Homo-oligomer: A and B are copies of this chain.
Amino acid sequence: MNTKNSASKQVVTAFAPATVSNVAVGFDILGFPIEPQCEPLGDYVTIERDNTNLAICVQAIHGVVSDLPYGPLANTATVALLKMQSELKLNFGMHVTIKKGIAKGSGLGGSAASAVAAVVAANHLLERPLPKEALLAFALAGEVVASGTLHADNVGPSLLGGLQLIHSLEPIPKLITLPIPQGVKCVLVHPKLEVATKMAREVLAATVPLHTYVQQSALLASFIAACYRSDFPLLKSSLQDLIIAPQRAHLIPNFYAVQAKALEAGAMGCSISGAGPTIFSLVEDASGDGGDGGQAERVRLAMVEQFTMVGLATTSWIGEISTEGARVVDGESKR
């Protein structure tokens, strides 16, 4: 058994960042976490160890969302912890407090972030914490509860950081960290409406036309090559979603106008983050602050304006692709 012997109360808080998945060209296989300049965007999970029994329960959910399930088999964080407890034969229970920084149904990997933060915090309670990669399967078990399908393109990057390619999930998840060209910024604009991931999956056709598959494959392969070559013109001509976004566009009012204006304002690419409705743009912007003068800020304003025109309030961020991923932010025994 891999647990601390101390009977003393232990409390650990971990943070897991919001993530953009799909990334236009890689449905279910590409994702990255975003690190806004102002303040972190993600979920915090605090775990209090309970040596008196094995129960894992949610004590509180607060922050930008509070109406999430408290049942241990329905909450993504506790499902992940139950899987971890069972697999590692942990001999303690956990009281879980979730502080949501990611809005529900926003397309920013909220369910994944809670599951990831939970397992990272719990890992810190172990005598010998596991490497992050070993936590992936536990967090994935949590993610399945929320989305209904096994996909690691939020969990993977939120946990590990960086632009992650999901090579395979079975028998164990295998991810590849792709290089991120220097000077790429991400703009996120979240219109105030909720898109349920399960519903966004249900609108997808069961098949892809062969011709479209070939075209999208060329774009995906070119995107991967562009990352390795730091080739911005190639990134720009690759970042197109011919398959998924066209089927989900109707779920997001004015999507095509937002996209067109983002590209007009200089974005290399603009598409739906995860299942939406958040829209992301990737922008070549070497300016340090992402402030008024930057290309990213011009793209952000152009996107926000198109949502405003159809009466939708927005929250928006500018940031870099984070290479750090989830981390312990407060724990009794710092590592």
Contact = CB atoms under 8 A, between A and B. Distances in A.
Interface string A157-178: 0000000011110000010101
Contacts of A123: none
Nearest to A149: B211
A204 B217 CA distance: 17
A216 B213 CA distance: 10
Nearest to A224: B224
Interface residues of A, number: 35
A29 B210 contact: no
A32 to B, nearest CB: 14
Contacts of A218: 29, 165-168
B217 A208 contact: no
Contact of A210 (B165, B204, B217): B204
Contact of A225 (B176, B237, B238): B176
Quick one: which of A167, A205, A208 has the most chain B CB within 10 A?
A167
A212 to B, nearest CB: 9
A214 B29 contact: yes
B217 A26 contact: yes
Interface class of chain A by DSSP = mixed
Interface string A291-305: 000000000000000
A218 B237 CA distance: 20
Nearest to A244: B210
Interface string A187-223: 0000000000000000011111110011011111110
A324 interface: no
A207 to B, nearest CB: 4
A228 to B, nearest CB: 4
A234 B222 CA distance: 18
A205 B210 contact: yes
B214 A28 contact: yes
A174 B219 CA distance: 12
Contacts of A98: none
A70 interface: no
Contact of A165 (B174, B208, B221): B221
B217 A29 contact: yes
Nearest to A29: B218
Contacts of A210: 204-208
A301 B165 CA distance: 36
Contacts of A28: 214
A205 B222 CA distance: 25
Contacts of A208: 207-210, 213
Contact of A209 (B29, B206, B221, B225): B206
B26 A221 contact: yes
21 contacts: A26-B221, A27-B217, A29-B221, A165-B225, A167-B218, A167-B222, A167-B237, A168-B218, A174-B237, A205-B210, A206-B209, A208-B210, A213-B213, A216-B217, A217-B220, A220-B220, A220-B221, A221-B221, A221-B224, A224-B225, A228-B228
Given A217-B217, A217-B220, 11 more contacts: A26-B217, A165-B225, A167-B234, A168-B218, A176-B222, A176-B234, A204-B210, A208-B210, A216-B217, A221-B221, A225-B228
